[in-house]
Amino acid sequence: MTQEKLIKVSNGYFMLFMLALFIAGAIFSLVKSSEWGLIFLFLTILSLPGFFLVNPNTSKVILLFGKYIGTVKENGFYWANPLYKKKGISLRASNFDSERVKVNDKLGNPIMISTIAVWKVKDTYRAAFDVDNYENFVRVQSDAAVRKLASLYPYDNFEDDGQAEEITLRASVNEVSEALEKELAERLEMAGIEVLEARIGYLAYAQEIASAMLKRQQATAIIAARHKIVEGAVSMVEMAIDKLGKHNIVDLDEERKAAMVSNLMVVLCSDKDAAPIVNTGTLNH
């Protein structure tokens, strides 16, 4: 037997009615001092362990002297062989939030990462007998899966890396979540666990390099912003010179054009507002 087998057992309400008859028979026989009193009393005691409940989204795995008999998943009130051992397994969806672990990403940078998984038992036989403790199995395998995932992708891309990665842990949320869910599903399949959702719950650089990486990100952002500013400033200077020449507003020689370009670039690219200076003399003085 390598997978679960669904079985049906006796209705508990019918056996509860029979139990009431056994009790009434035992009382009546004992009052009459009949030998049937002991028989009815024995049947009453023997019947009691056979009753059990199956609540919604739960199941009972039935064993007889170590042999797997089957699984009852349909909720209700039942009665089965009193010698059966009944092991309850929940079929509800469960959340698992792993602890933050320190691992190295693809580029070797130490990062802190954790995962959040939503899972439920799909095959009760595997969950009960193929692993020692399926809940602990989920915790251990989730930790192993997130460690492997972190080593496959870099934390982030930087323009000075040379060859940029298409998928990163920080930016590619959907792709990384799909990869994590697939990896976790493969690991938990042997325990009869179905992974409903898996994603990264926490992601950050490790404390020893967090400050340096923050400065690097800030520098990259500043360089990118400066690049855009320079592109815009050059375009505006070019437009200004073209407009002045087209409408014959002022006739500029090469030296004056160079001076105007220099002044405009300083004004447009500066971090601070330019202070205007009124020239009351000539352009040369």
Q: Which of 196, 195, 193, 200 is nearest to 177 (CA)?
A: 200
CATH number at residue 135: 3.30.479.30
Rounded to whole angstroms, the Cα distance separating 241 from 238 reads 5
Question: How many domains does one find in the chain?
Answer: 3
Residues 25 and 124 in one domain: no
Using CA atoms, how far apart are residues 17 and 51, in angstroms rounded to an integer? 12
Question: Cα separation of 22 and 41, whole Å?
Answer: 7
Q: What SS3 state is found at 126?
A: helix
Q: Which tens digit of pLDDT belongs to each residue from 16-44?
A: 888 888 888 888 877 777 777 788 788 88
- Report how far residue 268's alpha carbon sits from residue 196's, in angstroms, rounded to the nearest whole number: 53
Highest mean pLDDT among 92-106, 148-162, 264-278: 92-106
Domain range for 167 is 94-205
Residues 6+ apart with CB under 8 A from 153: 105, 106, 165, 167, 168, 169, 172, 176
Residues 147 and 165 in one domain: yes
- Let me know if residue 282 belongs to a domain: no
Q: Check: CB of residue 114 under 8 Å from CB of residue 200.
A: yes
Query: What gap in Å lies between CA 256 and CA 241, rounded to an integer?
Result: 11
Band of pLDDT at residue 181, cut at 50, 70 and 90: very high
Check residue 15 and give its pLDDT: 87
- Angle (nearest 5°) at CA 47 between 46 and 52: 130
Span 54-64, average pLDDT: 92
Please state whether beta strands 110-121 and 193-205 pair in parallel, antiparallel, or not at all (unpaired): antiparallel
Q: Do 106 and 82 share a structural domain?
A: no
pLDDT given for residue 1 in this prediction = 46
Task: Tell me which of 36, 62, 89 is where a domain ends.
Answer: 89
* Residues 6 or more apart whose Cβ sits within 8 Å of residue 251: none
The answer to whether residues 45 and 142 belong to one domain is no
Is there a contact between 180 and 145 (Cβ–Cβ < 8 Å)?
yes
Q: What is the pLDDT of residues 232-275, one digit of tens each?
A: 777 777 777 777 667 666 666 666 667 766 766 666 666 666 66
Residues 70 and 156 both lie in one domain: no
What burial class does residue 111 get, using C-beta atoms within 10 Å of its C-beta: 0-12 exposed, 13-18 middle, 19+ buried?
A: buried
Note whether residue 67 is domain-resident: yes
- R_g of the chain computed on alpha carbons: 38
Has residue 153 got a pLDDT over 80?
Answer: yes
Indicate the helix (H) or strand (E) that contains 273: none
Q: Are strands 101-104 and 110-121 parallel, antiparallel or unpaired?
A: antiparallel
Helix (H) or strand (E) holding 196, with range, is strand 193-205
pTM to 2 decimal places: 0.67
pLDDT of amino acid 111:
86
Query: Does residue 281 lie in a domain region?
Result: no
Beta-bridge partners for 104: 110
Beta bridge partners of 59: 89
